[in-house]
Amino acid sequence: MRIVRTIAETRRAVADLKEPSRTLGLVPTMGALHEGHLSLVRAARSRCDAVVVSLFVNPTQFGPNEDLSKYPRTFEADCALLEAEKVDLLFAPEAAEVYPPGAQTFVEVEDLSRRLDGASRPGHFRGVATVVAKLFHIVAPNLAFFGQKDAAQVAVLRRMVRDLNFDVELVVCPIVREPDGLALSSRNRYLSAEDRRHALVLSRALRRVEEQAAAGVVDAEPLLAAGHAVVAEEPAVRLDYFRVVDTDTLEDLPRIDQGALIAVAAWVGPARLIDNALLPPR
C-alpha cells in the first residue's frame, strides 16, 4: 500500500491506478478503523480494480465544543489493517493541505443538513459535504463507499452528488454490530464498561420498533412510543432524537407503509452515539 500526503501526489498515483478500463473505489474515513470500515474496504475491493482509502480527521465537521482534539488517532494500526485488506493507496493529508489558509468555499446541502444530526450539530454536514466533494475532485472515484450507520450523512451526500452532478456511484454498506447488538463506531472507544452496557439500549429500542412494525403497526406514533419506552429503561442515556423519517428527505413520516428510516442518537457517558434501522415498505 502506498501512502501519500499531498493532493498532487494523490492525483499522480490515482492516474497510474486508473487505466481506462479500471474501476476505482474510494473509502473515505477519519481513521480509528474498525470492522465497519473494513466492511467498506472489502466491498470496495470486491467491486473495484483499485481501492483508495482516505484518512483525514476533518476539522470542519466538528463543532467548537465537540471531540476534534480527542478523536482517536491510531495511524499505525490503521495502516496495518488497510495493508492486510490490500488497499492500493492511502491518502492521509494534514489539515493545511485540505484547507489552505484563506479557504472560504464550502458545500452546503441546505435543508437536509439541518435534519437529524444536523439539528444538534450545526455545520456538521456542511463540513462533511465539503470534504467529501474535495475527495471526489481529488480522487475522481467511480464508486464511493459509505456506511448505513451514518444514514443522515448518506442522505446528504446522495443529494450533493445529484445536485452537483458528481460522476460517482455511492455504495452504502450495512451496519456492522457487535454480537450483543452495539453498532460499531470509532466513538465506542470513549465508553467505559458501564457506558457500553447502557449503550445497548439503543439497538434494543430499534429492535423493539422493528418487532412492532413486523407485527403490523404502521403508525409512527406508537412505534416511537415503543422505542422511547425502551430508551427510558436506561436513565443514564440522554436521548437526542428518536424519529421515523423518510430515507431520502429525512422528514418525519406519520406512517411507515412506504418504508422508513428509524434513527436514534443519544449521549452515553462522554460519547454521542447514533444508530438506525431501515423498515421495508409493506
Cα gap 180→35, rounded to integer Å: 15
Give me the amino acid identity at 124: H
The answer to whether 37 is a known catalytic residue is: yes
Site string for ligand PAF, 15-34 (x = CB under 6 A): -------------xxx----
Q: Alpha helix locations (H) across 219-276?
A: 220-231
* Cα–chain center distance at 23: 23
| Partners of 275 in beta bridges | 264
Q: Let me know: does 237 contact 202? Beta carbons within 8 Å.
A: yes
Site string for ligand PAF, 61-80 (x = CB under 6 A): x-------------------
| Shortest distance in whole angstroms from residue 146 CB to ligand PAF | 6
Selected range binding ligand PAF among 14-22, 126-134, 168-176, 234-242, rule: CB under 6 A: 126-134
Measured between alpha carbons, how far is residue 208 from residues 149, 170, 187, 242, 246 in Å?
A: 18, 30, 24, 13, 19
Indicate which single residue of 51, 132, 183, 261 sits in contact with ligand PAF (rule: CB under 6 A).
132
> Considering the rule CB under 6 A, would residue 116 count as an interface residue with ligand PAF?
no
Q: Let me know: does 52 contact 25? Beta carbons within 8 Å.
A: yes
| Shortest distance in whole angstroms from residue 131 CB to ligand PAF | 5
Selected range binding ligand PAF among 7-15, 81-89, 127-135, 204-212, rule: CB under 6 A: 127-135
CB nearer ligand PAF, residue 132 or residue 202:
132
Q: Which one is catalytic: 37, 124, 137, 198?
A: 37
101's grid cell = 489558509
| Shortest distance in whole angstroms from residue 58 CB to ligand PAF | 4
> Considering the rule CB under 6 A, would residue 87 count as an interface residue with ligand PAF?
no
Name residue, grid cell 482517536. 72
Q: State the catalytic residues.
A: 37
